[in-house]
Structure 1
Amino acid sequence: MLDIGLLIIRLAVGLTFVGHGAQKLFGWFGGPGVVKFGEFLGSMGIKTGGRTWAILCGLFELIGGLLFSSGIFTWFGAILIIIVMIDAIFTVHGKNGFWLTDGGYEYNFILIAVVLGVALTGPGAYVLMYKP
C-alpha cells in the first residue's frame, strides 16, 4: 500500500505542476502563456528579464512535474518544484503571512513538505522506468 500511496501523491502533485508549467509556457488550460506571464512578473517588480524568468519558471514546473510524477529522478523534480515554491513565497506570498486565507504561503509550504518528503522517501515501486 505504501507504493500505491507514493504513486498517488506523485501523480497528483507532479501532474498539477505539469499543468501549471504548460499554462505559463504555452497558454494551455486557461493560462497566460510566456508573454503575459512575463508581463505579470514585470508588474510585480521584475522589470528586467520578465520573459526569461517566465520561461524558467514554466520549465521548472513542467520538467519538475514530469520527473516527480514519473518517478524518474524524483529528487531532481522535487528540487525544481521546491525552487519555484520558495520563489513564490519570497516574491508573492511571504509578505501576507502564513495562512492561505490571507494570501499567505501555507499552500507553498505544504507542497515543499510533500515533495521533500517523497524525495527523501523515494518514489516507491511504481515508476515509469523499471528499477531492479
Structure 2
Amino acid sequence: MDEGLLIIRLVLGLILAAHGAQKLFGIFGGHGIKGTGKWLESIGIKPGAFFAFLTGLGEFGGGLLIAAGVYTKVCAILIIFIMLVAIFTVHWKNGLWNGANGYEYNLLIIAVSIGLYLTGPGTHTLF
C-alpha cells in the first residue's frame, strides 16, 4: 500500500507543482504571474497578479510538499480549495468533460487529494 501512495503522491504532486510553475515562472507553456494575472482579471478575479501568485504558490509549494509526503493533510486541503475555486469560477459552466474545458480534471485532483487526506502519505516520505 505504501508504494501505491508514493506513486499517487509523486504523480499528483509533481503535476501540481508544474501547473504552479506555469503560473509563477512562465515555464512549461505557462504565462507567468503577469499573463495569468491578466487572465484572472478578465474573468473578474482581482487583483489578478496577486491571485496568480497565491494560486501558483499553492499549486507549486503544495504539489512539492505532497510529492515529498510532508504536511500532506494541510496541502490536500489547500489543493482541494484551489480546485473548487477553479471549478466554480471557470469550469462548471462547461460541464464535466475536460475536452470542453469542463471540471473533470479538477474533480479528479479533488478526489485524489481527499484520498490522501484520509489515508495520509504512507511511510515513504522525505521526513
- After superposition, residues 56-95 of structure 1 pair within 5 angstroms as 56-95=54-93
Pairwise CA RMSD = 1.1
- How far does residue 101 in structure 1 lie from its aligned partner after superposition? 3.4
- Which runs of no fewer than 5 residues in structure 2 stay unpaired? none
Normalised by the size of structure 1, how large is the TM-score?
0.91
User: What's the secondary structure of 2:28's corresponding residue?
Assistant: helix
1:40 aligned residue: 39
C-alpha distance in 2, partners of 1:26/1:101?
26
Provide the aligned length of Structure 1 versus Structure 2: 127
Paired AA for residue 123 in structure 1: P
1:26 aligned residue: 25
Correspondence for 1:51 among 49, 52, 56: 49
Contact 1:66–1:77, Cα closer than 8 Å, also in 2? no
User: Which protein shows a greater Rg?
Assistant: 1
- How far does residue 119 in structure 1 lie from its aligned partner after superposition? 1.4
- How far does residue 108 in structure 1 lie from its aligned partner after superposition? 0.8
2:125 aligned residue: 127
Normalised by the size of structure 2, how large is the TM-score?
0.95
- How far does residue 100 in structure 1 lie from its aligned partner after superposition? 2.4
Runs of 4+ that moved beyond 4 A = none
